[in-house]
Amino acid sequence: MKLIIATQNNGKMREFKRILEPLGVTVLSAGEAGIHTDVEETGETFAENARIKARAVMELSGLPAIADDSGLCVDALGGAPGVYSARYAGENATDDDRIAKLLSELQDVPEGRRGAHFVSAICCAFPDGSELCAEGVCNGVIGHEKRGENGFGYDPVFYTEQGSFSELTAEQKDAISHRGRALRDFYEQFKNRFAGLTSGGTPR
């Protein structure tokens, strides 16, 4: 069975593959499946955006498609950047641009008020119209500087008890991250729905 991951983000793609390939399915990026389209994220929540992206790619491919919408919610900023995390510093901004903007807005916020959490909402849309959805949350704080060399996005300034996301190994991050938690929930739902399904099979 093939699953298409509706993302152009290589970091997300690696995380999806690490956690989902043990299911015995073939995991493809949208590009690998020949789909090159930017789906407009018009939802007001992470879950709505994940559903919009998954259904759009499923309709284009005719195959089950999984989409994730995730972002950083900072308490001192009223939950921002939230669903606008990827566009926080402008449409063509880099990860460094977004981090610089975040740290600038928090420069006068003291320790104890820098709480934040990452959210990941995952939706898998199937050609028969059904869906499987899951959500994961990881709590932490925003540091005053970047730490670590791994990860992507806001990982270098998102601190957990174990260190910043960028200081963790892939396995350590998967164990506690918002996406890791959402994917494990999705994994169990998917496994229960398609128990006994092997690679190349057809969903019932």
Enzyme catalytic residues: 69
Q: Is 70 annotated as a binding residue?
A: yes
Q: Is 173 annotated as a binding residue?
A: yes
Sign of CA dihedral 90, 93, 95, 99: negative
Q: Is 78 annotated as a binding residue?
A: no
Q: Is 204 annotated as a binding residue?
A: no
Give which of 178, 172, 189, 174 is closest to 132, Cα–Cα. Answer: 189
Angle between helices 178-193 and 10-20 (to 10 degrees): 40
Q: Is 177 annotated as a binding residue?
A: no
DSSP state, 75?
G
Sheet with 115-125: list strands edge to edge.
Answer: 26-29, 2-5, 65-74, 115-125, 131-142, 158-160, 163-164
| Contacting residues for 77 by C-beta, under 8 A, at least 6 apart | 105, 106
Q: Is 143 annotated as a binding residue?
A: no
Q: Which stretch of DSSP H or E encloses residue 175?
A: helix 170-176
Q: Is 82 annotated as a binding residue?
A: no
Q: Is 98 annotated as a binding residue?
A: no
Q: Is 152 annotated as a binding residue?
A: yes
Q: Is 155 annotated as a binding residue?
A: yes
CB 37 within 8 A of CB 9: no
Q: Is 179 annotated as a binding residue?
A: yes
Q: What are phi and psi of 117, to 5 degrees?
A: -145, 145
60 vs 194: CA distance, rounded Å: 23
Binding-site annotation, residues for Mg(2+) = 40, 69
Residue positions in the annotated binding site for substrate?
Answer: 7-12, 70, 152-155, 173, 178-179
